[in-house]
Structure 1
């Protein structure tokens, strides 16, 4: 099956080795620009701005000002903007209405190359924000996170498939393993979904047990892996300097 690819500036998701994303989690503009510059210089393919950490996240003017500063600092490095809700591992408790309002503010600012949209909110609102993103030329990474368990293989595939049906450019799921079997479940589901869907997908098994899933995307079918330059934003993330070499060692000839 011919897979779609997703182009985010100079980064192509869905072909070759998994691309490397570095989350930035600063609370202020100066921290964020410093983190973004450091990650770009270290060779990140994509920067994920975790706006749930940013102290001015609910102020559209502040959000846009920092977005513009990051856009300038990053040059041709792509920017994924993510508000991670507390129930999915984020920093700030918001109502659904406030969550979607922030998504709209990000799109209005015109600095994001991609927007993370959590799948399991009001379905009408999810579909509306996907349409708005696409109308603004912004790609959608649709996500779901399980910090305490690994759903079964059929459930993982069904969730990724549902995201594709909702218009996601890149479906994403992250799960927490409690056993080696859980890691195998995630990897098997990744392979199955990658074979089934036209879209490139992102999957990971978190924590130390799941670290292998962050390295093996080219084999099993995950197009992006998250690394650290400084603080981690999720358990099990590997430093970018190490990850680069490990992905190169594991590349398919």
Structure 2
């Protein structure tokens, strides 16, 4: 088993609870692109690296997936790897892998300890969610349950109830990423973040996307979001800010909040 969590075991201390983990995505289509991205990203020292495997052209070849993850682990042994296959319905790439195939692959990665965190979407079958939660717990892999809406921002009450539902499904992290159509929507997401953090056991990740949502990527942690996503080499969602800029803003803000 390879997996070995770092970043204070993903928010394991009060100090890190006060500042968010910074996650940088990998979106390369092949091994060469991915490893080049990884080389450039690791020098920026993100807390987590997310492999958006729905971009990977060989996602249906399990041996190739295993091999590239082993290589990634050897190159960044101290940075946890988040493995995500984002569905088309929630902003991901179109792939041939079936939902059953995704579940099987995620379970196999947990068993082999090739990843540190898996992401699975709330919209999926509840039996699949329960199954992956059992497998991830057995192999000490953390699990994110997520919801993405690229069209709008639901009302605060709806976001809060969605987070509670994911929390009741025993996720380690609950993630909500939504699209604002104006600054009022971005503020609605931050209001929901501030409210829901008081009522769930899981760690909370909330993101408002696009140009109006940049404020959530930089300051969402002040309201209770435990992770933010920044560009390492390439963006994986609208409105992402470079890792170094995210870190600089967080450090400056933290200085005056302590």
**Bin of the TM-score, shorter chain as denominator length:** over 0.9
Deviation at 1:197, TM superposition (A): 1.1
Deviation by residue 1:118-137 (Cα, 9 ceiling, x = unmatched)? 11111111111111111111
Alignment partner, residue 232 of structure 1? 235
- CA-CA distance at 1:167 after TM superposition: 1.3
Question: Which residue of 2 is the match for residue 114 of structure 1?
Answer: 117
- Aligned residue number for residue 6 of structure 2: 9
| Deviation of 1:146 (Å) | 0.2
**TM-score normalised by structure 1 residue count:** 0.93
Q: Distance in 2 between matches of 1:10 and 1:230?
A: 20
Aligned-partner Cα distance in 1 for 2:6–2:91: 28
The answer (yes or no) to whether the contact 1:9–1:113 under 8 Å persists in 2 is: no
- Could you tell me the TM-score, scaled by structure 2's length? 0.91
Question: What is the number of residues matched between the two proteins?
Answer: 247
Q: Which runs of 5+ in 1 are unaligned?
A: 1-6
* RMSD, aligned CA: 1.5
Residue 250 of structure 1 aligns to a residue whose secondary structure is helix
1:169-218 CA-to-partner distances (Å, cap 9, x unmatched) read 00001000012111111001001111111221000100000100011133
Q: Is 2:221 the partner of 1:195? A: no
Residue 4 of structure 1: aligned partner = none
Match 2:207 to one of 188, 204, 207 = 204
2:216 is aligned to: 213
1:136 and 2:139 aligned: yes
Task: Supply the distance in 1 between the matched residues of 2:98 and 2:83 (Cα, whole angstroms).
Answer: 19
Distance 1:235 1:55 in 2: 22
**Displacement after TM superposition at 1:39 (Å):** 1.3
Residues 1:158 and 2:161 aligned together: yes
Q: Residues of 1 paired with 2:221 and 2:175: CA distance?
A: 15
Runs of 4+ with deviation above 6 angstroms: none
Conserved in 1, the CA contact under 8 Å of 2:111 and 2:135? no
Q: 5 Å matches for 1:233-248?
A: 233-248=236-251
Instruction: Structure 2 unaligned segments of length 5 or more: list them.
Output: none
How much does 1:237 deviate?
0.2
**1:59 CA drift (Å):** 1.3
Preserved contact between residue 67 and residue 109 of structure 1 (Cα < 8 Å): no
